[in-house]
Structure 1
Amino acid sequence: MTLRRTTVLAASGLMMLGACADPSMTGTSPTAAPAAGMSRTQQGALAGAAVGALYGATRDSDNNNQGRDAARGAILGAAAGAIAGNILDRQAAALEQSISNPNVQIVNHGSYLQVILPEGILFATDSAAVSGPAQSDLYAVARNLNQYPNSRVEVIGHTDSTGTAAYNQDLSQRRAQSVAGILAAAGVASNRLVAVGRGQTQPIASNDSVQGRAQNRRVEIIIRPT
């Protein structure tokens, strides 16, 4: 059996895994909507099957049972991927229910979650002190992280291009540290947290307009399962 055929067979088995998926987790919100009608559980299983098949085949030392090893790897990978995808589905849904500010975006990328907090709800201009209302939402994020402890958390600060690059780098770092500090104060283990400033280097919109600059001034919380 060739590696390609094994991977295709493993992917075909995804339909059986899909039958076990929680139907309530299929596209409950625009930010977590599954691609091509598939839940994150199913997408995770498919990706895990492909990676597992490749890993299983390459682990065979004499190539005598490459097809069998690929099949075993695909099965194990699909199961692990399905579990990870289902957990992210549930964590994203819980976050959406617990965060009160509608301007906070929660994006499920399939392998990690991204929480996007605009500057306007976090900080005053040129300040790294988190506002009172925003602290409530950050405590909600912290409770969620403690409910789902098997992840590492990257807090990333971003600015627009107004001012010098050095100033923006420093401001973004201080803002990331402020947000990470609140998560830690709310009980998230410090060894799970990393705070990074990106300054003006990673815009998501044009800095030539007021609206674009406002989008670029943000803090992102990236939640990666471990």
Structure 2
Amino acid sequence: MLIQLKRVSLVVAAAAIVAGCQTTNPYTGEQEVNKTSTYGGIGALTGAVIGGLVDGGEGALKGAAIGGAAGAGYGYYTDQQEAALRQELQGTGVQLQREGDNLKLIMPSNITFDSNKSDIKSSFYPVLGSVAKVFKEYDKNLIEVVGYTDSTGGDKINLPLSEDRARSVASYLMNQGISGSRITSFGAGASNPIGDNKTKEGRAMNRRVEINLRPAPQK
């Protein structure tokens, strides 16, 4: 019994160490937790606990191995997709953020649309085409396109404009071969500002289109 407890403790400790691994982001130079290691560590920990309850120490070791591989699966997938997007988006002005399993692309209006227009700038087509290429290669996401404006003009102007801009981006992605079943789009007007609408710089930040990538429901 004592030997089994020691083996379980070693597995749990190893999983915790793996989950805490950090790497340096090659694009920002910042230290960040490696997502694949985190998912794998959590999976290993869960597998160890379940396996240990079912089959003692041997079950814990087997459960850790199986759980770690399964847990790292989507995390590894998202790591690869994130890296591919960052490579395509370097120097374009498009921001990429990640929260857990979700990725967000923030596209400021100064590079995507002319003032008060919803037609995509011709100069932005290559960038959006590169994004579409990654979306086709990594097709396990749902794609949500959201248009935003600053607070000037009122909802009667802002909501239709934000909807039209989101629709333009969604239509372009579909024309590039992305399945329409993966894509939703809507306009949010001046809601969810990311800058101060009292300043010119803040209003420019708020005029944007965001693309949210979320895991597709498992069938």
TM-score normalized by the length of structure 2: 0.78
Query: 1:10–1:176: structure 2 CA closer, same or farther, 3 Å change rule?
Result: farther
Q: Does 2:134 correspond to 1:144?
A: yes
Query: 1:186–1:14: structure 2 CA closer, same or farther, 3 Å change rule?
Result: farther
Please report the RMSD computed on the Cα atoms of aligned residues, expressed in angstroms: 3.5
Please list, as runs of the form range in 1=range in 2, the aligned pairs for 1:14-33 lying within 5 A after superposition: 14-15=16-17, 26-30=24-28
Q: Alignment partner for residue 86 of structure 1, among 76, 84, 90?
A: 76
Please list, as runs of the form range in 1=range in 2, the aligned pairs for 1:4-83 lying within 5 A after superposition: 10=12, 12-15=14-17, 26-30=24-28, 35=32, 38-48=33-43, 52=46, 78-83=68-73
2:201 match = 211
CA distance, structure 2, for counterparts of residue 78 and residue 34 of structure 1: 23
Q: Identity over the aligned pairs, expressed in percent?
A: 34
Deviates more, 1:105-114 or 1:127-136: 105-114
SS state at 1:156 partner:
strand
SS state at 2:192 partner:
coil
Q: Does 2:179 correspond to 1:189?
A: yes
1:60 match = none
Q: CA contact under 8 A between 1:204 and 1:216: conserved in structure 2?
A: yes
Query: 1:120–1:7: structure 2 CA closer, same or farther, 3 Å change rule?
Result: farther
Query: 1:174–1:11: structure 2 CA closer, same or farther, 3 Å change rule?
Result: farther
Q: Report how far residue 72 of structure 1 moved.
A: 8.2
- Specify every segment of 5 or more residues in structure 1 that has no aligned partner in the other structure, as ranges: 1-5, 58-63
Q: Report how far residue 15 of structure 1 moved.
A: 4.0
SS state at 1:13 partner:
helix
Number of residue pairs the alignment of both structures matches:
207
- Specify every segment of 5 or more residues in structure 2 that has no aligned partner in the other structure, as ranges: 1-7
Quick check: which one's strand share is greater? 2
Query: 1:165–1:149: structure 2 CA closer, same or farther, 3 Å change rule?
Result: same
CA distance, structure 2, for counterparts of residue 224 and residue 177 of structure 1: 19
Q: Report how far residue 187 of structure 1 moved.
A: 0.8
Q: CA contact under 8 A between 2:144 and 2:212: conserved in structure 1?
A: yes
Query: 1:72–1:142: structure 2 CA closer, same or farther, 3 Å change rule?
Result: same
